[in-house]
């Protein structure tokens, strides 16, 4: 799919001195930068994409009635058409949906299984007093294995958790598609079918975290036996159709800047979800969203499953990966749907994990090109055994090839002087270690 610009937003590359000053003032933490000082912003793909002209037009149709708005009816119909779920409650974003659903499903002492819990999912499950347990296929941790579905859930691992804790303690099994915390790797329809059967076996609810369901469906068409020539819309309906409930962040494959939803099949579960939604989100026909935003997401969900849109989207991410690899960066393969992950430990072998090689790369990309990426290694996840990854996430329908080339040029320049790149140490951090990458301050140290 091709786009032409209809609304122009200017971006400016601050000069080198300004970038240096901005980085220092931010405490070498790019979350503290002003977005105006960023030239290509690859911090996240969440809520940062461009809406289409059809979505902007739909905003004006927004019906802001407190109850029973026509915008909700159109939203409900779009969710039913795209996902097959007829019972839906809108929420302000994905974590609102998680709060509502896991608040109803999980209790103190329970165990929730997931191919990999995304950070907010883990936090909401834990907040219920339940234990979030990850059961990814082992190959998810291998950055070089050329496997088609490295995001899958391991049934063997899941069964061994059942053997340990007993089926009674497991109220839900979750598939996160694509697997955001495992480099955005996809999950096969076959795996979803196996999880369905497994959930039936242990009498648990099968939940799909559907944030990137359309990107996932594209990979199924591209890679899974029996789906060649299928449409993204067909595959999405088939895969989502296997689940009992969905949690969704509209900021990803909803193609909007805010919003989310919970969808369920069971009428009794729907009643409980609605009651909790009233407490935390809003009356069930608007939840956490304005009527106009429901309209924009109704259109966005339909656009997200257009084959040409998803193909262009995933191909752009792959193009960035190829450019970065040509520039000399070690890239996680195969490339996922929403972001390129770079192995920073291999980029800077002389910087130890305690000196945060990932943060070093993030700071250098900003210094060199005004590019903002994010560290997902020892700095973001203290005391866990994670690879030193840096993520460059592409906002949807936002950047062009020139931007990608600029990022790759900046990376090549960083690599040219990799011997002189400093490591970092934390000089102040918040009390919750799991949130430190959002607000900690650092300083460079020679290595």
- Confirm if 135 and 161 have CB atoms less than 8 A apart: yes
Residue 182 CB, nearest approach to ligand PLP (Å): 10
Residue 398 CB, nearest approach to ligand PLP (Å): 17
Q: Closest CB to ligand PLP among 298 and 408?
A: 298
Residue 95 CB, nearest approach to ligand PLP (Å): 3
CA-CA distances (angstroms) from residue 403 to 42, 316, 336, 369, 408? 11, 11, 19, 10, 9
Determine, following the binding rule CB under 6 A, whether residue 213 of this chain makes contact with ligand PLP: no
Determine, following the binding rule CB under 6 A, whether residue 120 of this chain makes contact with ligand PLP: yes
| Single residue of 49, 84, 90, 94 touching ligand PLP by CB under 6 A | 94
Determine, following the binding rule CB under 6 A, whether residue 152 of this chain makes contact with ligand PLP: no
- Confirm if 295 and 58 have CB atoms less than 8 A apart: yes
Q: Closest CB to ligand PLP among 209 and 303?
A: 209
Binding part of the chain for ligand PLP, among 27-35, 76-84, 87-95, 407-415 by CB under 6 A, reads 87-95
Binding part of the chain for ligand PLP, among 17-25, 92-100, 266-274, 389-397 by CB under 6 A, reads 92-100
Determine, following the binding rule CB under 6 A, whether residue 134 of this chain makes contact with ligand PLP: no
Q: How far apart are CA 305 and CA 298, in angstroms?
A: 12
Residue 434 CB, nearest approach to ligand PLP (Å): 15
Q: Closest CB to ligand PLP among 169 and 437?
A: 437
Residue 249 CB, nearest approach to ligand PLP (Å): 3
Residue owning tokens 């939840």 = 287
Restricting to residues 262-321, name those near ligand PLP by CB under 6 A.
Answer: none
Pairing relationship of beta strands 339-343 and 389-393 according to DSSP bridges: antiparallel
What is the contact mask toward ligand PLP in residues 39 to 68, using x (rule: CB under 6 A)?
Answer: -------x----------------------
Q: Closest CB to ligand PLP among 117 and 355?
A: 117
| Single residue of 209, 293, 364, 375 touching ligand PLP by CB under 6 A | 209
* Nearest C-alpha neighbor of 348 from the set 388, 313, 311: 388
Restricting to residues 410-439, name those near ligand PLP by CB under 6 A.
Answer: none
Count of residues that bind ligand PLP according to CB under 6 A: 15
Binding part of the chain for ligand PLP, among 200-208, 246-254, 323-331, 388-396 by CB under 6 A, reads 246-254
Residue 351 CB, nearest approach to ligand PLP (Å): 28
Q: Closest CB to ligand PLP among 251 and 403?
A: 251
Determine, following the binding rule CB under 6 A, whether residue 117 of this chain makes contact with ligand PLP: no
Token readout for 247 is: 């949690």
Determine, following the binding rule CB under 6 A, whether residue 69 of this chain makes contact with ligand PLP: no
Binding part of the chain for ligand PLP, among 104-112, 249-257, 269-277, 358-366 by CB under 6 A, reads 249-257
**Which residues contact ligand PLP by CB under 6 A?**
46, 93-95, 118, 120-121, 176, 180, 209, 211, 249, 251-252, 260
């Amino acid at each position: 799919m091709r786009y032409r610009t209809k609304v122009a937003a200017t971006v400016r590359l601050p000069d080198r001195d300004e970038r240096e000053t901005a980085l220092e003032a931010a405490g070498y933490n790019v979350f503290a930068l002003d977005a105006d000082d960023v030239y290509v912003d690859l911090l996240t793909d969440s809520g940062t994409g461009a809406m289409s002209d059809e979505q902007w037009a739909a905003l004006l149709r927004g019906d802001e009635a407190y109850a029973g708005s026509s915008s909700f009816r159109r939203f409900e119909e779009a969710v039913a058409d795209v996902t097959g779920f007829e019972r839906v409650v809108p929420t302000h974003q994905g974590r609102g949906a998680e709060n509502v659903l896991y608040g109803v499903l999980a209790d103190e002492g329970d165990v929730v299984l997931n191919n990999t819990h995304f950070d907010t999912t883990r936090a909401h499950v834990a907040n219920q007093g339940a234990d979030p347990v990850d059961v990814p296929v082992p190959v998810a941790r291998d950055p070089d294995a050329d496997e088609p579905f490295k995001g899958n859930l391991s049934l063997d691992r899941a069964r061994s958790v059942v053997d340990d804790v007993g089926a009674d303690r497991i109220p839900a099994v979750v598939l996160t598609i694509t697997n955001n915390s495992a480099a955005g790797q996809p999950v096969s329809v076959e795996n979803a079918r196996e999880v369905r059967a497994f959930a039936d076996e242990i009498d648990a609810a099968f939940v799909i975290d559907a944030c990137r369901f359309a990107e996932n469906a594209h990979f199924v068409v591209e890679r899974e036996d029996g789906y060649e020539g299928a449409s993204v819309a067909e595959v999405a309906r088939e895969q989502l159709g296997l689940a009992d409930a969905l949690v969704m962040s509209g900021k990803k494959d909803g193609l909007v800047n805010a919003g989310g939803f919970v969808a369920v099949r069971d009428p009794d579960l729907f009643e409980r979800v609605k009651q909790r939604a009233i407490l935390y989100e809003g009356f069930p026909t608007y939840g956490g969203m304005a009527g106009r935003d429901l309209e924009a997401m109704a259109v966005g969900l339909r656009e997200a499953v257009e084959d040409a849109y998803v193909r262009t989207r995933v191909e752009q991410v792959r193009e960035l990966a190829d450019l970065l690899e040509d520039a000399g960066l070690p890239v996680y393969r195969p490339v996922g749907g929403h972001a390129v992950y770079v192995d920073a430990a291999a980029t800077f072998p002389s910087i130890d994990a305690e000196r945060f090689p990932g943060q070093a790369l993030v700071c250098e990309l900003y210094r060199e090109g005004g590019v903002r990426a994010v560290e997902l290694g020892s700095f973001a996840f203290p005391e866990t055994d994670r690879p030193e990854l840096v993520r460059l996430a592409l906002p949807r329908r936002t950047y062009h090839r020139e931007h990608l080339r600029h990022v790759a040029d900046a990376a090549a320049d960083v690599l040219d002087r990799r011997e002189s790149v400093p490591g970092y140490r934390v000089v102040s951090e918040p009390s919750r270690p799991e949130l430190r990458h959002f607000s900690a301050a650092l300083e460079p140290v020679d290595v």
